[in-house]
Structure 1
Amino acid sequence: MDRQERSRLAHTHHPITAPLTDESVAAVLRRAVRHGNERVLHLGCGSGAWLLRALAAHLDLTADGVDPDPAALTEARIAAEHLGVIRRLGLHHKAPAEFTPPHPYDLVLCIGATPAFDTLAATLSAADHHLSPGGTLLLGTGYWQRPPDRAARESVGHDLVDLPTLTDHLTTAGWLPVHGHTSTRAELDDYEWSWSGALTEWALDHPAHPAATEATQAAAEHRTAWLRGYREAFGFVTLLLRRAE
């Protein structure tokens, strides 16, 4: 089982691949989509859950999604056809860092996809390249809620900073927060239980599958890393950012 397939299975019951409830996603999108006729780009769109919600809510909105996982894009296409929004959605099978935009966008989403660009600075640079003047970036990223111990740092596996330092980095780079959603403990816990639980459930429902044991092990390792590693230190914030003029 490759990483992409494991992620799809783990998000079976939580298609928003970030620790936000459906209500939080709707509230963030209401702030992000200001006019209803925007061109929207999601870098690392997965199965398209953010874009599908935006397209369903705004009949004049158009969108493009970029993701390296063809199976996730197929899921997005099927869902878009079911919702009747497929004509307003373009799907691109590419790594987010390799996407060449056909035109500028009014709103760019990058939710939990910073690792695809290696660094926060590279993520911001890519978003800036895709945005039209006056456009908005919706950035979702992790941060440290409290100083992490060694187990937390090893579990998360990439560099994070605290929220004030993250905000300082953004403003220094010329990005001003105009709205933000800080995921609650309940949102964070629900996401993690859903991730490991869905993978475990799939393995129990498919005991003869060659990847069942691997899936069970991956779920157990993830659950342990969360509960014994980063649970008390990790936070997630979704920020609406605009460039300083």
Structure 2
Amino acid sequence: MDDELNALRRTRMRWNTPLSEPHAELLLDRMALAEGDLVDLGCGWGELLLRAAARTPGLRATGVDTDVTGLDRGRAAAASRGLSVEFTEADAATWDVPAERVFSVGAAHVFGSTRAALEALARLVRPSGRLLYGDGFWAAPPGPAALEIFGPDLVTLPDLLDAADGAGWRVLHLSTADQLEWDDFESTSRAGWAEWLAAHPADPRAERVREWLDRRLREYVRDYRGVLGFTYLVLGR
């Protein structure tokens, strides 16, 4: 798809993860945010980072990503809300500035794997700090189609917790996305293009968009709804 359509696809998404407003507030509470440094690695447009900055005076918030469209959206949102949040175009896996608080939600692939992410983040978070780590896991045995979509590297939740323990983390909070959060995430991920398609049915790109929307819905309902889980861990030492 071209740049215009790529920019439109996530416009109806609050954040690029299955997460409700109350669940987000709970996670921010569990992070015990205070004055100091917070970095969001793989931030996208950084909505959770912006929420953290809005509720925590003195927080020095930085979002790191390579997605220029997402970073621009984050900068615009920060400006419109009067928030001092820095958005930096950089590879999250190479970020080496220690911080007291770190977010890494849905970004394990940037580091190569769940285990590699947890080990790299252990070197980045200061010993007294906390990490909000979000990652997918197999909530039920995957079929061949789900394995093809998401690859062989996803693990079960017990194995994910073992990886956290092996990297030296202690779990301070654990929660998982519920079915409503997943359904809302999948629906909003399609909504931007669905609205565009309704307004531009004769556009030369319309058929490709229609095919993507139909395939994404089929895959979700048939192949990974209830099979792919997502967990949010608040980790400390």
Using the size of structure 2 for normalisation, the TM-score is: 0.91
Partner residue of 1:119? 113
Residue 196 of structure 1 deviates from its aligned partner by 2.1
Return the offset for 1:48. 1.3
CA distance in 2, matches of 1:214, 1:139: 34
Say if 1:204 and 1:212, in contact at 8 Å, map to a contact too. no
- State the distance in 1 between where 2:231 and 2:3 align: 24
Quickly say closer, same or farther: Cα 1:186–1:206, change in 2 above 3 A.
Answer: same
Structure 2 unpaired stretches of 5+:
none
Runs of 4 or more, structure 1, over 6 Å off, are none
The answer to whether the 8 Å contact 2:39/2:101 transfers is yes
Q: Is the 8 A contact 2:33 2:101 kept in 1?
A: no
Deviation per CA, 1:132-176: give whole Å up to 9, x if none: 222111111111111112122123235212211211221122111
Rounded to whole Å, the distance in 1 between the matches of 2:202 and 2:95 is 39
Amino acid at match of 1:219: L
Instruction: Work out whether residues 105 and 133 of structure 2, in 8 Å CA contact, stay in contact via their aligned partners in 1.
Output: yes
Distance across 2 between alignment mates of 1:29 and 1:4 = 33
Counterpart in 1 of 2:157? 163
Give a deviation string over 1:173-198, Cα, whole Å, max 9, x none.
21111002211111111111221233
Letter of the aligned partner of 1:67 in structure 2? D
User: SS where residue 226 of structure 2 aligns?
Assistant: coil
- Residue pair 1:42, 1:66 contacting (<8 A) in 2 also: yes
Distance 2:42 2:5 in 1: 15
Q: Find the aligned partners of 1:4 and 1:177 in 2 and give their Cα distance.
A: 41
- Cα RMSD for the two superposed structures: 2.0
Instruction: Assess if the C-alpha contact under 8 Å between 1:175 and 1:242 holds in 2.
Output: yes
Answering whether residue 88 of structure 2 is matched by residue 92 of structure 1, we say yes
Partner of 1:129: 123
Cα distance in structure 2, aligned partners of 1:2 and 1:159: 30
Instruction: Write out per-residue CA displacement over residues 205-238 of structure 1, whole angstroms, 9 at most, x where no aligned residue.
Output: 2446554433322222221211111113111111
> 1:59 aligns to what?
57
**Deviation of 1:5 (Å):** 6.0
1:172–1:126: structure 2 CA closer, same or farther, 3 Å change rule? closer
Corresponding residue for residue 16 of structure 2: 17
Q: Tell me the distance in 2 between the aligned counterparts of 1:5 and 1:73.
A: 17
Change in Cα spacing, 1:134 to 1:22, as seen in structure 2 (3 Å) is same
Pick the aligned partner of 2:166 from 144, 159, 172.
172
For the structure 1 residues 131 and 209, does the alpha-carbon distance in structure 2 shift closer, same or farther, using more than 3 Å as the test? farther
**Worse-superposed segment, 20-29 or 129-138:** 129-138
Aligned-pair identity (%):
35
> Which range moves more in the overlay, 233-242 or 148-157?
148-157
Q: CA deviation at 1:110?
A: 0.8
Map 1:43-58; keep pairs closer than 5 Å. 43-58=41-56
Q: Could you say if the C-alpha distance between residues 65 and 4 of structure 1 is closer, same or farther in structure 2, counting changes exceeding 3 Å?
A: farther
TM-score by length of 1: 0.89
> Structure 1 regions of 5+ residues with no counterpart?
none
**One-letter amino acid of the structure 2 residue matched with residue 19 of structure 1:** P
Q: Distance in 1 between matches of 2:188 and 2:180?
A: 12
Instruction: Give distance in 1, aligned partners of 2:159 and 2:135.
Output: 13
Output one character per residue of 1:16-68: Cα deviation in whole Å (capped at 9) or x when no partner.
11101111111101111x25213111011111101110011112111110111
Q: Does 1:195 align with 2:189?
A: yes
Report the Cα distance in structure 1 between the residues aligned to 2:17 and 2:4, rounded to whole angstroms: 15
Q: Secondary structure at the match of 2:53?
A: helix
